């Protein structure tokens, strides 16, 4: 795969999929492949209130601002930044996972349009699919099961299973090892946050793709190292040349 950056005005007509050699695509979940609808922020607010981290409106606003800035990172790491002890961070993380689960049950969960079809298309082309997250394993499993994705992916990983969460390279590199991809140059990392982009860059991924369906805007994603920013994952197959027959 070429590691040369792709610009936003990238011409698909000049794209040769043979130059890419993609073996693995590592996808973030909430905001990238899973429609968030503000559930993560709402769960953080509930967790902060239940854990005594935000007793006032100002404290709640400060916590939400920090959550937005660190979106995509391990939830435990985020709470470590909001608490004064590891014990408190662990308790707050548990409260978050509980609150998020409650909201998922109340509101439901939906996929970003085209995500499931993309997984099928990638695997049909011999490309492995990995889902990574800052959630705990139980929450990640709940999302995968509710969306019916268990048979559409090759591996799923949470921070505790990889070593460290984003922006560290551990999740993409562990996905590479689990799927047997031949090199980091054959890996594409896709996400909606600066942390996702930094994780891909730090892992040496051949292509780091930002999407605009989640937390951060194009400028933020670019500044964090995105090679290209697209509207949503629905556009990824065309970007990678899997639908070259539709390009005029």
In total, how many domains does the chain have? 2
In a shared domain, residues 144 and 228: yes
Do 212 and 96 fall into the same domain? no
- Tell me the per-residue pLDDT of 43-81, one tens digit each, with 9 for 90 and over: 888 888 887 777 677 777 777 777 777 776 777 787 887
Pick the last residue of a domain from 51, 74, 107: 107
DSSP, collapsed to helix, strand or coil, labels residue 140 as helix
Q: What is the pLDDT of residues 73-131, one digit of tens each?
A: 777 787 887 777 888 888 888 888 888 888 888 888 899 999 999 999 999 999 999 99
Range of the domain at 93: 39-107
* Distance separating alpha carbons of residues 223 and 134, to the nearest angstrom: 21
| E strand intervals along the chain | 24-28, 128-132, 155-157, 187-191, 207-211, 228-230
CA-to-CA distance for 29 and 69, rounded, in angstroms?
17
Mean of pLDDT over the chain: 85
Nearest to 160 by CA among 142, 176, 180, 139: 139
**Residue after which a domain boundary falls, among 85, 107, 129:** 107
Cβ atoms of residues 46 and 97 within 8 Å: no
pTM across the whole model: 0.81
């Amino acid at each position: 795969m070429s590691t040369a950056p792709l610009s936003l005005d990238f011409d698909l007509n000049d794209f040769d999929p043979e130059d890419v050699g993609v073996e693995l695509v590592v996808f973030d979940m909430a905001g990238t492949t899973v429609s968030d609808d503000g559930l993560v922020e709402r769960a953080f607010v509930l967790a902060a209130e239940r854990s005594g981290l935000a007793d006032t409106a100002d404290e709640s606003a400060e916590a939400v601002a920090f959550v937005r800035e660190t979106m995509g990172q391990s939830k435990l790491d985020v709470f470590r930044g909001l608490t004064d002890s590891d014990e408190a961070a662990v308790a707050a993380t548990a409260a978050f996972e509980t609150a998020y689960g409650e909201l998922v049950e109340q509101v439901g969960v939906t996929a970003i349009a085209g995500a499931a079809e993309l997984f099928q298309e990638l695997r049909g082309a011999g490309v492995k699919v990995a889902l990574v997250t800052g959630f705990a394993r139980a929450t990640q499993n709940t999302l995968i099961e509710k969306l019916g994705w268990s048979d559409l992916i090759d591996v799923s990983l949470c921070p505790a299973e990889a070593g460290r969460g984003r922006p560290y390279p551990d999740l993409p590199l562990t996905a590479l090892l689990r799927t047997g991809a031949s090199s980091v140059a054959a890996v594409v990392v896709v996400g909606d946050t600066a942390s996702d982009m930094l994780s891909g860059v730090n892992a040496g991924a051949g292509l780091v793709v930002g999407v605009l369906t989640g937390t951060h805007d194009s400028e933020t994603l670019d500044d964090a190292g995105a090679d290209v920013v697209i509207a949503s994952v629905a556009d990824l197959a065309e970007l990678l040349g899997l639908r070259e027959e539709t390009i005029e």
